Amino acid sequence: MRWVLLGGHGMLGQDLQSVLAQAGEHFWALGSADCDIRVPGAVTHAVRDADVVVNCAAWTAVDKAEEHEGEAFMINAVGAHNVAVACAAAGVRLVHVSTDYVMPGDGDQPWPEDAPQAPASAYGRTKAAGEWAVRQASPDAYVVRTAWLYGAGGGNFVKTMLRLAGERDTLTVVADQVGQPTWTRDLAELIVRLVNSGAPGGYYHGTSSGSTSWHRFAQEIFTLSGLEARRVAPITTDQFPVPAPRPANSVLGHDAFDANGIEPIGPWNERLAAALPVVTRGT
């Protein structure tokens, strides 16, 4: 199969490149300079010879989106629409990557794939609009929501914790938000399994299993790195104000993957142990 990766040099895009290369697949990874998804003609040109397109391109600066919602909307919603229209016209299968931020974030149960979207942040609104546009223009598309990503190819929580461990004796980390830390390499492999499965289009939740808080995630990073976990102290969301509201409950249910017999990613702590040597290599 011929794959085109839009936003293909970002954190997820880099791991998709590795996974596809290992699988011997043909792929083209395009950055924004190669294909700006805000430009319909550029997208039409980029996808014309593909069998599968994975749209990893996004405005991902969550806090900055609060003051730049229009710019974020142009990429996350209008850009996503352009990609879906071009894929539908060319008969290309689309995988569109989305986020837990489209969910309201309350409650204590995992969000099912069909839960109504109710984003609390500007970033979440733009991503929810993108999901809607993709499903309208390309009903066969896979919309893969993910969350709490970390990987070798970008800045992320794991790298930040290890950097701060070298700079400070103790750290404080939010303990009242829960989610599923997810390695971009695991997500890349899951996306390939999804496409190869031939499962029907729709919403899928691409995250590790289990759940944890940012605080316990940080403690696990410390423990696995031979550092003392008690150096990480818990605080509440109120004690760490940021511009964009964060979902307190980001846990995503995996019914759609289960129903289609697609092998899940696995428990977040086991995957973190496998990922750490790779993610921190060279840092």
Ligand X SMILES: NC(=O)c1ccc[n+]([C@@H]2O[C@H](COP(=O)([O-])OP(=O)(O)OC[C@H]3O[C@@H](n4cnc5c(N)ncnc54)[C@H](OP(=O)(O)O)[C@@H]3O)[C@@H](O)[C@H]2O)c1
Q: Which is nearer to ligand X, 56 or 175 (CB)?
A: 56
Which C-beta is closer to ligand X: that of 36 or that of 186?
36
Whether the CB-CB separation of 144 and 95 falls below 8 Å is answered with: yes
Distance CA 208, CA 191 (A): 13
The Cα–Cα gap between 31 and 114 comes to 31
Tell me how far, at minimum, the Cβ of 58 lies from ligand X, in Å. Answer: 3
Binding region for ligand X (CB under 6 A): 6-7, 9-13, 31-33, 35-38, 56-58, 60, 75, 79, 97, 99, 127, 146-149, 154
Rounded least distance, CB 230 to ligand X, Å: 27
- Catalytic residue, from 101, 123, 142, 204: name it: 123
**Beta carbon of residue 159, minimum distance to ligand X (angstroms, whole number):** 12
Separation of alpha carbons 21 and 23, rounded Å: 5
Name the residue nearer to ligand X (CB basis): 47 or 147.
Answer: 147
Active site residue 203: no
Nearest distance, CB of residue 105 and ligand X, angstroms = 13
Distance CA 98, CA 101 (A): 8
Q: Closest approach of Cβ 263 to ligand X, in Å? A: 21
With CB atoms as reference, the residue minimizing the distance to ligand X is: 10
CB of 86 to ligand X, least distance (A): 13
Secondary structure of the chain in HEC code, one letter for each residue: CEEEEECCCCHHHHHHHHHHHHCCCEEEEECCCCCCCCCHHHHHHHHCCCCEEEECCCCCCCCHHHCCHHHHHHHHHHHHHHHHHHHHHHCCEEEEEEEHHHCCCCCCCCECCCCCCCCCCHHHHHHHHHHHHHHHHCCCCEEEEECCEECCCCCCHHHHHHHHHHHCCCEEEECCCEECCEEHHHHHHHHHHHHHHCCCCEEEECCCECCEEHHHHHHHHHHHCCCCHHHEEEECHHHCCCCCCCCCECCECCHHHHHCCCCCCCEHHHHHHHHHHHHCCCC
The residues annotated with a catalytic role in the active site are 123
